[in-house]
Structure 1
Amino acid sequence: MKILKFGGKSLSNGDGINKVVAIITDKVNQGEEIAIVVSARGNATDELEEILKVAATNKDYKLLFEGFKKYQQDEYENVDLSEEFNVLEKLFEGVSLIGDYSNKIKDQVLSKGELLSAKLLTAILIENGINARFADTRELIKTDSKFGDAQPLEQISKKNVINYFKENNGTTVNIITGFIGSNNNNDTTTLGRNGSNYTASLIANYLNAEELQNYTHVDGIYTANPDLVLDAKKIDHLSFNEANEIANFGATILHAKTIIPLLEKNIPLRILNTFNHENKGTLITSNSNKEGIKTLSVLENVSLVNLEGRGLLGKTGVDARIFRVMGDNDISVSIISQGSSERGIGLVVAADKATKAMIELEKEFENDFYSKDVNKITVTDDVSVISIIGQDLSTFHKPYTALIKNKIVPILFNNTVTGKNVSLVVKKSQLNKALNVIHGEIFGVSKKINIAIFGHGLVGGTLINQILESAATIEKRKDIKLNVFAIANSSNVLLNKNGVTPNWKNEIQNNGFSYTIDDVIAYANEHHLENLIAIDNTASATFVENYIPLAESSFDLISSNKVANTLSYSFYKKLRKVLADNQKSYLYETNVGAGLPLIDTIKLLHLSGENITKIKGVFSGTLSYLFNNFSAKDAPFSEILKEAIENGYTEPDPREDLCGNDVGRKLLILARELDLQNEFEEIDIQNLIPEHLREGDVSDFLNKLTEFDPIYAKIKADQKPNHVLRYIGELSGDLQNDKGNLEVKLVSVPSDTALGGLKGSDSFFEIYTESYGDRPIVIQGAGAGSAVTARGVFGDILRLSDKG
């Protein structure tokens, strides 16, 4: 025989109860021997409790009761439920008159949910040609008299169930009420919340059932609550021990008491979905198919009670006193954690028992307050417990580090004696994000990286398209899911927690709205987005002011904007301190050399203790193109400059390139990587623009480009034979001091040198070190172009995504 148990949502009106009838009919037609245990339909138990409370306050409960009756009767007018409705009406009237009720009365009221459910289902099945019989477990399951949480009396209950099924079995499908029983005086009792599961497992035990099938509204047990973690995966197989841990640590799909009767008889438990009964669900047996982390369970509606006191150091018996207080006041402690010094002890208890726990502990430790052994006893509300079932402490550093990286600091944690389960107490507001961070770290799902991109011009727009085009391949190859949730320019932002589409340009135009950086941060918090990266593809000096609030709000930073690294040295250091304090990274490989691995190389050399003595090179792809072509071609300077402008190599105002400030900024960035404290004003920059052309509007400047020609024709003619012009940045001097010599200048070099042989718009860098002597490390490659820069930023995204 198989026992089938159907939950409240499965038995709800419409699709729910119709599916239940179809499942039972199908099994009967296939010749399966089954018995059915039912919960109350829909939210009946909660509704009955609410009506009871309203009646006890002498308020008008009748409208609520009429609504309850209407739902329970639904379209089944031919089914007689009047007996239960009449009893409920008298009970509510009595409670309303007295203004109070006992747990005994409450059990009588709540029991009606299951009785109505079983009677209705029995009638519907009979109408559908099924030989169904209503079974009232008040006549079968005998309990003690602890109303609200009664314990079954095993011997008599077992005897009753076996005898009943001897008389009423064979072709009969028994529809059994879950949750309820009766004491020796035949007073109605209930087995506690989720007690219908317990009833089903007891019946399965007494009858040596082949399997208990628990039908719910989900496909089985998941690696996390799929309502909270979208990437949660169904678990095909669990052991009873693992299921028991899951139940103890808050998984609402299981009741902790359910497991023991099944374990005694080695009866498999299968969790199935009423609304998708073709799915095979989760099978729970005595054997686990493999070691490892199984699931994340959550305990909500809890509070943390804290005892603090330096006088607890080394004192024995403190835990015993705490547990005595808890036991005497019927307060269950789900977690206790303390330091080895016992200077702080934390207890997790049900939220509605926390104040009582604090008051009773204050009484117990009254003398310790006077002696100042205990400083204070406090309650922290709005907390949740996440339990990682199957977590070994040897690998716990991975999810813990991921939490810290996302600015989630657990308030308390502990592990079981076996070291195979770890529980964390976190702020309730951080629960969703914490679950997603841990889940992404420990299960075989893609690690989600949530990206906000500021600036969607040439570089930013190219980057967005590169990410969208490559996202599927990267997820498949590296298990990293890149999700661009925000795109912004200086005035508008487009937000989508599920990621922007390839049509983002139209969407930002039509759906974008004005914003501040706080709006983006608030959106990320509201939607519990983890592994946040902010990318600055602007050239804005004002946007840099947002770096610190972004880092403080759990964003890592990536920038193609050079401004932040070239502002005052004090800001440079302040930003690094904020990044360090918040354990955030800031990558800016494209600040110098577009996508070339220059900054990383210099960082590694410097960190390894290598003494860098000089850095020299062509830092600007624009000016590389200009002087490479001017030196090689017999053409006036203005003609080459016009080519560079037409090819998009220059800024809209070419003077931004020609003034040399951009090269100066890049040189300063490299100097600061060597811990030099130079300021931008200290760089000796040779401005390539004739003084009389430095002011005025862009169009006026572009009309006067030929005025460059005689100046640069003379410079070119005055060179030594076989020499070419190159515009370089050079860092020199004693670089072990606080400051170096920074120069940006036009030089003439032999054409047969590496620098002289430069072509196109390539960047070129020579890094001289003590170890390498006169033979520099040379880095050369494409130094301009939106695609190259965007690809370099993309590389920084993948570097950050791979970390931790």
Structure 2
Amino acid sequence: MKVLKFGGKSLANGKGIRTVIEIIEDKVKKDEKITVVLSARGNTTDELEGILEKASKSKPYQEQLDAFKKYQLDGFKSIDFTQEFETLDKLFEGVSLLGDYSKRIKDQVLSQGEVISAKLVTQLLQEKNIKANFTDSRSLIITDAQFGDAQPLDKLSKKNVISHFNKHNGSTVNVVTGFIASNTNNETTTLGRNGSNYTASLLANYLEAEELQNFTHVNGIYTANPDLVPDARKIEKLSFAEANELAYFGANILHAKTIIPLIEKNIPLRILNTFDYKNKGTLITATSNEKGIKSLSVLEHVALINLEGRGLLGKVGVDARIFRALAHKNISVSIISQGSSERGIGFVVEANKAKEAKTVLEQEFESDFHKRDVSGISIEENVSVISIIGQDLSTFHKPYNALIKNQVIPLLFNNTVTGATISLVVKKEQLHRALNVIHGEIFEIAKKINLAIFGHGLVGGTLIEQILKSSEQIEKRKKINLNIFAVANSKKVLLDKNGINEHWKNSIDEKGISYTIEDIVRYADEHHLENLIAIDNTASEAFTANYMHLVEHGFDLVSSNKVANTLSFDFYKELRKKLEDNQKQYLYETNVGAGLPLIDTIKLLHLSGENITRIKGVFSGSLSYLFNTYSNENRLFSEVLQEAIDKGFTEPDPREDLCGNDVGRKLLILARELDLSNEFEDVNIHNLIPEGLRQGEAQEFLEKLDNLNLVYQKVKEEQKPNHVLRYIGDLWGDLSKEKGNLDVKLVSVPQSSALGQVKGSDSIFEIYTESYGDQPIVIQGAGAGAAVTARGVFGDILRLTEKG
């Protein structure tokens, strides 16, 4: 025999109840021997509780009761629920007159939901000529007198069940009410939370069933709650031990008590979906073929109690006093953790028992308060518990570090004695993010990286296209899901928690909204987005003021914008301190060498203790092209400059390149990588623009390019033979001191030298160190262009994902 249990959502009006009848009919046609256990239909139990509460407070409840009755009869006019409705009418009337109700009365009220459900299914089956027998489990399951959470008396219950099924077996389908039972005085009791599952489990045990099939509204047990973690995957098979852990730690599809009767008789439990019943679901048996982490479970509606006191250190019996006092009030403790430096113990209780627990403990430790041995008992109410089933301490650092990186700081954690489960208490508002972070870290599912991109001009727009084009390949190869949830310019932002698509440009125009940085931070919080990276592709000094706020709210930073690293040294240090305090990263490789690995190389040399004595080179791809071409060709300076402008190598106003400030900022960035405290004012910059052309509009300057020809023709002619012009940055001096010398200047170098051999728009950097002497480390390559810079920013993003 198989025992089939159907939950409330499966039995709801419409598709639910029709499908349940189809499943039972299908099994009967296949000559399967089955018993059916039913919960109350839809939200029946919640509805009855709500009406009961209203009645107890003498509030009008009749309208809600009438709506309840109408739902139960909707589409089933031939069903007679007169007896059940009259029972409810009398109970609610009595409660309303008394203004209160007992647990005994509540059990009587709630029991009607299961009775109505079983009577309905029985008649619907009979109308299809299926031999169905309504079975009131109050005549089968006998319990103690603990109303609301009664415990079965096994010998009596088993005797009743076997006797009943001896009379009603063979082709008869027994339709049994779940959740409800009766005590030895024949009073209605209920089996507590998820009691219908428990009823089915007990029947399976007593009847030594072949399998218990639990029909729900999901396809089985998942690696996490799919409502909270979209990437959760179905688990094909679990062991009873693993299922028991899941049940204890809050998997609401199971009840811990459900597992025990099945373990005793080694009866498999299969979790199935009523609405997709051909899916094989999750099978739970004595053993599981797979080891390792199975699932994440969540306990909600809990509170954390903390008891602290220096005077309790080393005292014997403190824990016993705590648990004895709580047990006396029937308050159960689920998660426990202790500290020793300042004696303290934290534990988790049901939220509705937290205040009572605090009062009980204050009474128990009253004399200890007076002696100041106990300093405080506090309640942290808005918390949830996440349990990682199958996690041991040897690899726990991975999810833990990922949580810290996402600014989720567990309030408490512990592990089971076997070391096979670790539980964390987190703030409730961080639950979604914490689950997604842990899930992405411990299962072989692509880790989601949520990107906010500021600036979508040449570099930013190219970066977005690069990410969209290669994201599928990166996810397949690196198990990293790059999700651009925000794209912003100075006025508008496009937000989409599921990620933008190739039509993002039009979407910004059509759906973009005005914003502040706080709006983006709030959006990320509201949608529980994890692994956040903000990418600054602007050239804005104003935007860098947002860096601190972004870091404080969990964003790592990537920037092609040089400004933040060249503001005051005080800001530079403050930003680094903020990054350290929040355990965030800030990568900006493209600040100096576009796509070249310059900053990483210098950082590595410096951190390894290598004494860097000088850095010089051609820092600007734009000016590299300008002077490489001008030095090697017999052309006017203005003509070559115009060509550079036309090819997009310079800014729209080329004076931004020619003034030398860009090279100066890059040189300053390198100085600060060597821990030098130089300010931008310390950089000696040779401005390439004649003084009379520095002011005015860009167009006016562009019309006077010919005025540059005489100046640079003279410079060119005054060179030594076989020399060429290069505009370089030079960091030199005793770089072990507080500041170095920073020069940006136009120089003439031998054509045969490393600097002299640079071609096109390439950049080149010579790094001189104490160990290498006169032979510098040379880094050379493309130093300009949106594609190159965007690719460098992309590289920084990928480096961050690996560091995470």
TM-score (norm: length of structure 2): 0.99
1:759 paired with 2:749, answer: no
Partner of 1:620: 620
Counterpart secondary structure, 1:169: coil
Partner of 1:574: 574
On the 8 A contact 1:243/1:284 being kept in 2, the answer is: yes
Offset at residue 339 of structure 1 (A): 1.0
On the 8 A contact 1:626/1:641 being kept in 2, the answer is: yes
1:321 paired with 2:321, answer: yes
Counterpart Cα distance in 1 of 2:182 and 2:554: 56
Offset at residue 266 of structure 1 (A): 0.1
Counterpart secondary structure, 2:720: coil
Counterpart Cα distance in 2 of 1:258 and 1:757: 79
Counterpart Cα distance in 2 of 1:467 and 1:128: 58
Partner of 1:794: 794
1:126 paired with 2:126, answer: yes
Counterpart Cα distance in 2 of 1:774 and 1:44: 85
The more displaced of 338-347 and 476-485 is: 338-347
What is the identity, as a one-letter code, of the residue corresponding to 1:795? G
Counterpart Cα distance in 2 of 1:64 and 1:694: 80
Deviations 1:248-297 (A, max 9, x none): 11111001100000000000000000011111111000102122111111
What is the identity, as a one-letter code, of the residue corresponding to 2:554? S
Partner of 2:111: 111
Within 5 A, what are the aligned runs for 1:429-448? 429-448=429-448
Counterpart Cα distance in 2 of 1:341 and 1:687: 63
Counterpart Cα distance in 2 of 1:627 and 1:418: 71
Counterpart Cα distance in 2 of 1:608 and 1:59: 76
1:391 paired with 2:391, answer: yes
Offset at residue 83 of structure 1 (A): 1.0
Partner of 2:180: 180
1:637 paired with 2:666, answer: no
Deviations 1:626-685 (A, max 9, x none): 000000111000000000000000011100000000000000000100001111111111
Indicate how the Cα distance of structure 1 residues 342 and 135 shifts in structure 2: closer, same or farther if over 3 A, else same. farther
Partner of 1:227: 227
Counterpart Cα distance in 2 of 1:544 and 1:46: 52
Counterpart Cα distance in 1 of 2:449 and 2:100: 55
The more displaced of 112-121 and 745-754 is: 745-754
Partner of 1:355: 355
Counterpart Cα distance in 1 of 2:594 and 2:241: 56
1:330 paired with 2:330, answer: yes
Counterpart Cα distance in 2 of 1:711 and 1:150: 99
Counterpart Cα distance in 1 of 2:443 and 2:13: 37
Counterpart secondary structure, 1:115: helix
Offset at residue 105 of structure 1 (A): 1.3
Counterpart Cα distance in 2 of 1:68 and 1:424: 40
Partner of 2:154: 154
TM-score (norm: length of structure 1): 0.99
What is the identity, as a one-letter code, of the residue corresponding to 1:346? G
On the 8 A contact 1:314/1:342 being kept in 2, the answer is: no
Counterpart Cα distance in 2 of 1:13 and 1:675: 71
What is the identity, as a one-letter code, of the residue corresponding to 2:321? R
What is the identity, as a one-letter code, of the residue corresponding to 1:513? I
Deviations 1:204-254 (A, max 9, x none): 000000000000001111111000000001111111011111111111100
Counterpart Cα distance in 1 of 2:513 and 2:63: 46
Deviations 1:478-517 (A, max 9, x none): 0000000000011111110000111010110111111111
Counterpart secondary structure, 1:487: strand
Within 5 A, what are the aligned runs for 1:546-625? 546-625=546-625
The more displaced of 785-794 and 133-142 is: 133-142
Offset at residue 56 of structure 1 (A): 1.2
Counterpart Cα distance in 1 of 2:573 and 2:217: 55
Counterpart Cα distance in 1 of 2:355 and 2:605: 59
Counterpart Cα distance in 2 of 1:193 and 1:349: 16
The more displaced of 287-296 and 663-672 is: 287-296
Partner of 1:726: 726
What is the identity, as a one-letter code, of the residue corresponding to 1:208? E
1:95 paired with 2:89, answer: no
Counterpart Cα distance in 2 of 1:636 and 1:205: 97
Deviations 1:144-166 (A, max 9, x none): 11111111111111111111111
Offset at residue 590 of structure 1 (A): 0.2
What is the identity, as a one-letter code, of the residue corresponding to 1:689? I
Indicate how the Cα distance of structure 1 residues 95 and 508 shifts in structure 2: closer, same or farther if over 3 A, else same. same
Counterpart Cα distance in 2 of 1:702 and 1:341: 72
Counterpart Cα distance in 1 of 2:693 and 2:299: 70
Offset at residue 103 of structure 1 (A): 1.4
What is the identity, as a one-letter code, of the residue corresponding to 1:210? E
What is the identity, as a one-letter code, of the residue corresponding to 1:803? K
Counterpart secondary structure, 1:735: coil
Partner of 1:241: 241
What is the identity, as a one-letter code, of the residue corresponding to 1:401? N
Partner of 1:214: 214
Offset at residue 344 of structure 1 (A): 1.4
Partner of 1:769: 769
Counterpart secondary structure, 2:773: coil
Aligned residue pairs: how many? 804
Partner of 2:423: 423
Counterpart secondary structure, 1:296: strand
Offset at residue 341 of structure 1 (A): 4.3
Within 5 A, what are the aligned runs for 1:336-351? 336-341=336-341, 343-351=343-351
What is the identity, as a one-letter code, of the residue corresponding to 2:618? V
Offset at residue 340 of structure 1 (A): 3.2
Counterpart Cα distance in 2 of 1:129 and 1:659: 93
1:782 paired with 2:782, answer: yes
On the 8 A contact 1:312/1:341 being kept in 2, the answer is: no
Counterpart Cα distance in 1 of 2:515 and 2:59: 48
On the 8 A contact 1:592/1:599 being kept in 2, the answer is: yes
On the 8 A contact 1:314/1:341 being kept in 2, the answer is: no
Deviations 1:721-774 (A, max 9, x none): 111100000011001101111000111111111211111000001101111111
Offset at residue 367 of structure 1 (A): 0.5
Deviations 1:123-182 (A, max 9, x none): 111112211111111111111111111111111111111111111111111100111111
Offset at residue 186 of structure 1 (A): 1.2
On the 8 A contact 1:383/1:425 being kept in 2, the answer is: yes
Partner of 1:305: 305
Within 5 A, what are the aligned runs for 1:41-80? 41-80=41-80
What is the identity, as a one-letter code, of the residue corresponding to 1:188? T
Deviations 1:503-559 (A, max 9, x none): 010110111111111111111011010000000000001000000000111000000
Where do 5+ consecutive residues of structure 2 fail to align? none
Counterpart secondary structure, 2:414: strand
Offset at residue 477 of structure 1 (A): 0.3
Within 5 A, what are the aligned runs for 1:15-26? 15-26=15-26
Offset at residue 59 of structure 1 (A): 1.4
Offset at residue 342 of structure 1 (A): 6.1
What is the identity, as a one-letter code, of the residue corresponding to 2:683? I
Counterpart Cα distance in 1 of 2:576 and 2:351: 41
Partner of 1:478: 478
How many percent of aligned residue pairs carry the same amino acid? 71
Counterpart secondary structure, 1:542: helix
1:139 paired with 2:147, answer: no
On the 8 A contact 1:566/1:665 being kept in 2, the answer is: yes
Counterpart Cα distance in 1 of 2:201 and 2:452: 51
Within 5 A, what are the aligned runs for 1:692-771? 692-771=692-771
What is the identity, as a one-letter code, of the residue corresponding to 2:532? L
Partner of 1:192: 192
Offset at residue 97 of structure 1 (A): 1.4
What is the identity, as a one-letter code, of the residue corresponding to 1:724? V
Counterpart Cα distance in 1 of 2:153 and 2:759: 92
Partner of 1:408: 408
Partner of 1:670: 670
What is the identity, as a one-letter code, of the residue corresponding to 1:670? L
Partner of 1:276: 276
The more displaced of 621-630 and 81-90 is: 81-90
Counterpart Cα distance in 1 of 2:549 and 2:341: 37
Counterpart Cα distance in 2 of 1:292 and 1:167: 46
Counterpart secondary structure, 1:66: helix
Counterpart Cα distance in 2 of 1:187 and 1:728: 94
